[in-house]
Amino acid sequence: MVTNRNIDTVLRTLKRLVRQWRVPIVGHYRDDPFTTLISCLLSLRTKDETTRGASERLFRLARTPQRLSALSQRRIERAIYPVGFYRTKAKTIRSVCRTLLERCGGKVPDELDELLTIKGVGRKTANLVITLAFGKDGICVDTHVHRISNRWGYVTTKSPEQTEMALRQHLPRRHWQIYNDLLVSFGQNLCHPTSPWCSRCPLERICAKAGVTHSR
């Protein structure tokens, strides 16, 4: 079981492990809060490779809230297809851009609570923007982070929101900013949802394997 007695070793091991894999697409836009925000919105319920292509096509058209809000919804839809729920996401992106222009001076807020007031921006997205784009402490919990944290036995929760709150209480703050990056890469490449590669995993001996019914 992963605990706070061994979490430093666990995450140090993951840092070495993930060097062999491609950085998750949202991480490519960490130098610009706006593109980080939009890329994260595109990534929701969408595979990384699909998000990668959609982000590249959209940002060739526009990379600021001013220019992006000037595009028609139909043009945004064509650029981001086939991301999941592309019509809804195109509408959300235009709405977010208008909010940034009307309420935030065209700038992405660097505070979690302020980001959460923007319609269409949830906790996962807001935390990711805070950590990636602004280098502030936050805990971004997506399906990988939720699944693996519970699989390890590090937390026992039923939803990503519960996992975030448990990690805020349990995970040492020095690990907050890197936790999502590490677990997303780990989850995409080794610790898969239905059939994890336990035989290849350097953490196999200390993993609680909670909920694992089949592994390779």
| Helix-helix angle 86-103:73-80, to 10 degrees | 120
Task: Tell whether the model's pLDDT for residue 28 goes beyond 80.
Answer: no
Which of the following is catalytic: 32, 89, 91, 124? 124
- pLDDT of 30 reads 77
Examine residue 82 and say whether the peptide bond preceding it is cis (omega within 30 degrees of 0): yes
- pLDDT of 23 reads 78
Active site residue 89: no
Which of the following is catalytic: 8, 110, 142, 181? 142
Task: List the one residue out of 151, 140, 166, 152 whose CA is nearest residue 40.
Answer: 140
List, as own/partner pairs, every contact residues 104-107 make where C-beta atoms lie below 8 angstroms and the sequence separation is at least 24, other chains included. 106/64, 106/65, 106/66, 107/33
> Could you say which DSSP state residue 176 is in?
H
- pLDDT of 198 reads 98
Q: Specify the CATH superfamily of domain 31-134.
A: Hypothetical protein; domain 2 (1.10.340.30)
Active site residue 119: no
For the chain, give every domain's residue range.
7-22+138-200, 31-134
Task: Tell whether the model's pLDDT for residue 131 goes beyond 90.
Answer: yes
Q: Which CATH class is domain 7-22+138-200?
A: mainly alpha
Q: 68 falls in which pLDDT band (50, 70, 90)?
A: very high
What is the value of pTM for the model shown?
0.91
Q: 33 falls in which pLDDT band (50, 70, 90)?
A: very high
